[in-house]
A and B are shown apart, each in its own frame.
Chain A
Amino acid sequence: MGTITALGLILLICMVAVGGTQGLQAWISLIFNFSALFFAMVLMAFHLPPVLVTLVTGVIVLAMTIFLGGNDSSSTMVAFYASVAVLILLVILIIPVEHWSQIQGFGQEDSEDLEGMSTILGISYLNVAISTAILSTLGAIAEAAIAIAAGLAEILEQHPKITLKNLQGAGFKVGSQIIGTTFNTLFFGFFGGFLALFIWFAGVHYSPGEILNDKILVGEVLMVLFSMMAVIATIPLTTWAMVASERQARKRFLK
C-alpha cells in the first residue's frame, strides 16, 4: 500500500471514529475538493480560461465544503451566500494586485526544477497566478463563514428575540474570537510550507532588498494576505447576511 493511501485511510477511520456521519462527510469533502482542484488543472491545461475555470471551481468547492461541513440548513445557506460574495470581492482585489506585482511563473530559485523543461506553454501564467491565489483562499473563506454563521445560529436559538442590532454586534464578537487563531492557522500553513525557501534565503544571504522584491516570496506573502483579507471580509459579510435573513424571517412571521 502506498503512503498516501494509508494516510488517507487512517484519516477516514479517525474522522468517522470522532465525528460519525459528519466525519465521513468531512472526508468526502476533502476527496471531492482534491478532485475538483485536479480537474480544474486539467481544464487549464486544455487551454480553458484559467480564471473562469477557477471561479466555477471555487463556487462548487465552497458549496461542497459548507454544505458537507455544517448541520443547520438555514445557517449553512447564509454561510454559502456570504462566502460567494467574499469570493467575488477577493477576485476583484486579486486581479489588479497580481497585474501590478507580476509574480507569475517561476523565479530564479526554481531553475533546478525547470531544467530540461520547455517553457513555451501558451497559457498566460499571470492568469494561472491569479487562479492559484484564489484557490488557496477557498478553505479559509469556507471555514470563517461556517464559524460565524454557526455561532450566530446558536445565539439565535438561545435568544430568539435578540434585536437585529445586537445580533450584528454578536457577529463581530464571534469574529473577534476567531480572528487571532485563524490568522495563525494561515500564517503557519503558508510559512510552514515555504520553510525551505526561507532557509534558502538565509543560506545564500539575500539582502533585505532582494527578499522584498523576490518573485516567489512576494507571491507567497500576497497569498497569505489575500487569505487574511478574505477572513476579515467574511466576518461582516456573513453577519450582515445572517441579519438580513433573520429580518426576512421575522417579516414573514409577522404576516
Chain B
Amino acid sequence: MINEANKPHSFWQRWWPYVVVILGALLVLGVAHDDGLYQTPILKIQSVKTISSDKQTDQFNNEDRQVEQELHGVITNGPNKGKNLKIENTYLKSGATTLGYHTGQKVFLTVHHHQGHLSATISNLKRDTALAFTVWLTISLLLILMRFSGLMALCSVVVNGVLFWLAVSWNTHTQGGIVLLIFGGLAIVFAALTLLIVIGFNRQMLMTLLATIGGTALSIIVALIVFALTHERGVYYESMQYVTQLPRPLFLAETILGSLGAVMDESTDIIASLMALKTEKPDISAKQIFKSGRQIGGEIMGPLVNVLFFIFVAETLPLALLFLKNANSWGYTFNMTMSLGVVQSLISGIGIVLTIPLACGITSLMIGGHKSWGRLRH
C-alpha cells in the first residue's frame, strides 16, 4: 500500500510488525512454561480415569450427568516438584460451576500434608497461556494489518488499562466513598488522553473532547431526572453482580465508563468529517455544517447503540439461562439478570444521540462562517 522501499531504514520500517509478532510468540511460549513463577503448586494432568457417571435430576426435572474422575499427574513447581499425585474430581456435565479435566491440562492445587502423606484438591485451572495466546493473536493481527495506526490504537488501550487499574486501586483506598467522583473525573482524563493519542493536540481534539464530555454528562443528567421521576421502578440494583460497595453510584460509574468510548468514537467521526468538509468547501455556512453533521451522526448512531447493547446484554446470557432453568418466569428472569444491562444500553443510547447536536453545534460555532470566530483560529 505505502511504498517504503526507497526510504532509509526501510528494512526495519517494513518488517517491525513481524519482529514484534515473533517476540510475542516466544513470550506466549514462556507463559506456557511459567509454572516456576507461581507460589501455588501446579499439577500437570497425565492421565484421567472415569470412575462413574450417574444421571442426576432436580426438582425442576432438569437432567444432567454427574461424572466422577480420577486424575493422575505430576507437580511441576515448588518444594514438591516431580512428585506424583492422584486426585479425585466430581463434576456435572453441564459444567456451570464444576469442571471436568482432561490430559495435558495444568491445574492449581491446594496441598494438604497428612502424616507425611501428600494429598490435594484442585483450586483452579491454569488459564494464563490461553489468555496470553489470544492477546498475542489480537496484537499480531492488529500490527500486521494496520501497522502504525494499529500500534497507536494498542497504545491508547494500554494507557487506558493502566489508568483504569490505578483508579480502581484509588477507589479501594477510599472505601468506595467517592466512586462517582473518581470515575467521573477519570472519564475526562481517559477521554483527553485517548483523543491526544488518536488525534494529537489541536483545535479539533479540543472540540471532540468538549463534545464527548458534554454528551456523556447530558446522558447521566437525563438518566438521573428519569430515575427521580419514575422512582427507579424496574431498576433492580440488588441484581448487580460482584458488588462490594453501595450499588447505585457504582452503577452510574459503570454507565459513564461504558458509554464514554462510544460517545468519543462518535464525536471523533462527526467532527473529523466536518473538518474535512470545511477544507473541501471553505465557504460553507455554519448552518450547512450543522446539517451535514446531523446527517453523518444519524447514520452512525444506530450501529453504535447496538454495539453497546450487545456488549451489555449478551454477557447476562449464562445467568439468565440459569434463572430460566430454575423455573423462574420470563419477567422475573429479565428483571433479575438483564434489566440493568438494558437500562445501561438505553442511557448510553441517549448519550450517543444527544452528542450529535452537541458535536455539530460546537463545530459549526468554531469553524462556521462567522467572521467573529476567525481570530480564534490558529
Contact = CB atoms under 8 A, between A and B. Distances in A.
Interface residues of A, number: 126
B15 to A, nearest CB: 18
Contacts of B198: 180-181, 184
B318 A128 contact: yes
Contact of B356 (A18, A25, A187, A188): A18
A82 B216 CA distance: 32
Interface string B151-172: 0111011001100110011011
Contacts of A169: 1
Interface stretch (B22-30, B68-76, B304-312): B304-312
A59 interface: no
Contacts of B57: 120
Contacts of A238: none
Interface of B: 1, 37-40, 56-60, 62-64, 92-99, 108, 124-128, 130-131, 133-135, 137-138, 141-142, 145-146, 148-150, 152-154, 156-157, 160-161, 164-165, 168-169, 171-172, 176, 183, 190, 194, 197-198, 222-223, 226-227, 229-230, 232-235, 240-245, 250, 253-262, 264-265, 268-269, 272, 294, 297-315, 317-322, 324-326, 330, 334, 338-339, 341-347, 349-350, 353-354, 356-357
Interface in A107-132: 109-110, 113-114, 117-126, 128-129, 131-132
Given A136-B311, A218-B127, A45 B324 contact: yes
B243 to A, nearest CB: 5
A69 B314 contact: no
B350 A232 contact: no
B260 A193 contact: no
Contact of A228 (B138, B256, B330, B334): B138
B233 A121 contact: no
A67 B56 CA distance: 46
Interface of A: 1-8, 10-11, 14-15, 18-20, 22-23, 25-26, 29-30, 33-34, 37-38, 41-42, 44-45, 65-66, 68-71, 93, 97, 100-106, 109-110, 113-114, 117-126, 128-129, 131-132, 135-140, 142-143, 146-147, 150, 168-169, 172, 175-203, 207, 209-210, 212-215, 218, 220-223, 225-229, 232-233, 235-236
Given A68-B302, A110-B241, A119-B96, 5 more contacts: A4-B342, A6-B230, A179-B146, A189-B307, A220-B315
A198 B165 contact: yes
Nearest to B136: A225
A176 B165 CA distance: 27
B306 A33 contact: yes
Contacts of B183: 195
Contacts of A225: 134-135, 137-138
Contacts of B59: 118
A172 B144 CA distance: 12
A106 B96 contact: yes
B145 A196 contact: no
B305 A190 contact: no
A121 B325 contact: yes
A199 B254 CA distance: 11
Contacts of A193: 254, 258, 311-312, 315, 341, 344
B171 A199 contact: yes
The 9 closest A-B pairs by CB, nearest first: A26-B302, A192-B257, A188-B261, A192-B258, A19-B298, A176-B149, A139-B307, A2-B234, A101-B130
Contacts of A137: 310
A83 to B, nearest CB: 11
A6 B226 contact: yes
B315 A223 contact: yes
A119 B97 contact: yes
Contacts of A93: 137
A228 B223 CA distance: 29
